[in-house]
A and B are shown apart, each in its own frame.
Chain A
Amino acid sequence: MRHTVTWAAATFIAYLAETCILSRTGTVMPDLLLILVVSCGFLHGKRAGMLEGFFAGLLLDLFFGETIGLTALLYLILGYISGRLCGIYFEQYVRVPVLVSFAGSLAVNFIIYFLGFFSRGRIRIPAYFLRLILPKAALTALVCIIVYKLIYLVHHRLDEAVRSRKHTTWLKD
């Protein structure tokens, strides 16, 4: 429950940060919500990753998208994939979510490019790749290092709180 509320709050904050503050800069932005989706899957497993991915994607789609559901679908798949890595690697291994974020950002943005731009005759793939897709993925990976550490700290705190409560009940019994 605590985890759910924390993730929902984090998603909202990331969304607002992206639309209201980061987008003011007018340069390439990191995919904050994508980082959250990957981290959630990696820490909590497939189920949580999928749900986080679906709702975070839906949030992005709802407010500007003219076709709702594409980002939801892409983030859902990403959450599932990163959820499969849960339990395989130690949670402290920052490099795993960072790599997944990098690859995920590349893949998601390539798909958006192909569906929204390539299909309309904007076929200068190298230009789009070098100017937007690659910098975006690299920035996302960089930001992921910081954001994941933050998420990991909060996650650990929450887990500890739950564990200590359980511990006391067990002692009382």
Chain B
Amino acid sequence: MKDFFRKDRHLFIALALIAVGLILTTAVYRPGLGILNSAASRLIVPLENGINLIGTYITEKADGFRDNAALAEEVRRLTEENESLQAERAENAQKLLELERLTALYELDQEYPDYEMIGARVISKEPGNWYQRFKINKGSEDGVAVDMNVMTGGGLCGIVYQVGPHWAAVRAIIDDESNVSAMVADTADLCTVTGSLIDMDDGVILFYGLRDAGGLTMIGDRIITSGISEKFLPGLTIGYISELTEDANNLTKSGKLIPAADFRSLREVLVITAVKESAEEEAAEEGQ
């Protein structure tokens, strides 16, 4: 019995040392993380893709059923249509939902015609509530690379921070660790937009350091990504100001903004296949 206890203790120490070693290694040496990550992802990403298909199927079915219930009542009350027709309508309603979503995405694509985008599906989200990160089903072999900007439903959604052959991990702009260099669209005054876990429940994110010298910024103003950001392409809509307060230093203002992207139902996203630097180089070449 004593031997067993000793062995358990040894195993505990060994595993703890491995864990601490991993923490230190990945904290210092980032590429090592990628190797571990992609090895493990080979196993889990196909599974996630499968589960996601089922999940999407179920949610779409559920949406369909909801429509179906409403329609069936009307049908029963008014025309007493037969069952086969009902089924057909339910199916159409389901297709319509998908069509609406895709049309919305397409319109977004039209709004930013300068950038080439590829569509991707969200396959899984970070477990555990602390961070707002998710995975999409397109990776390096589809042309996705680290630092590419991700858009959805009318605005900036996040940025790719890790990439595998057929998946990429995206940090949403509402993540607590996310910081985006931004500006007010009308006045071009710069500020920084940051996610906040606590304010996320109210559907807002924070911005600070707005030097509004002319006092022209107002609630409802559009905030877009600034030209001086290292990683974000300029001119993408982030959101609209909902709260504006003067800081104690009387120089800068801070407040809250409502993001243009809808983070509650994140299913399809668009990845802009231009990284900040390369996009600028291309622009320069075109200029010549």
Contacts and interface: CB of A to CB of B under 8 A. Distances in A.
A68 B55 contact: no
Interface string B103-135: 000000000000000000001111111110111
A57 B22 CA distance: 12
A19 B126 contact: yes
Contacts, number: 139
A47 interface: yes
Interface residues of A, number: 52
Contacts of A28: 129
A72 B22 contact: yes
B102 interface: no
Q: Taking chain A's interface residues, is the majority helix, strand, or loop, or is none over half, making it mixed?
A: helix
Given A15-B127, A64-B126, A20 B51 contact: yes
Q: Is the interface of B mostly helix, strand, loop or mixed?
A: helix
B55 A20 contact: yes
Interface in B169-206: 169, 176-177, 196-198, 201
Nearest to A47: B8
Nearest to A117: B176
Contact of B12 (A32, A63, A80, A116): A80
5 contacts: A18-B127, A20-B55, A63-B41, A67-B26, A128-B197
Interface of A: 12, 15-16, 18-24, 26, 28-29, 31-33, 46-47, 50-51, 54, 57, 59-64, 66-70, 72-73, 76-77, 80, 83, 109, 112-113, 116-117, 120, 122, 124, 127-128, 131-132, 136
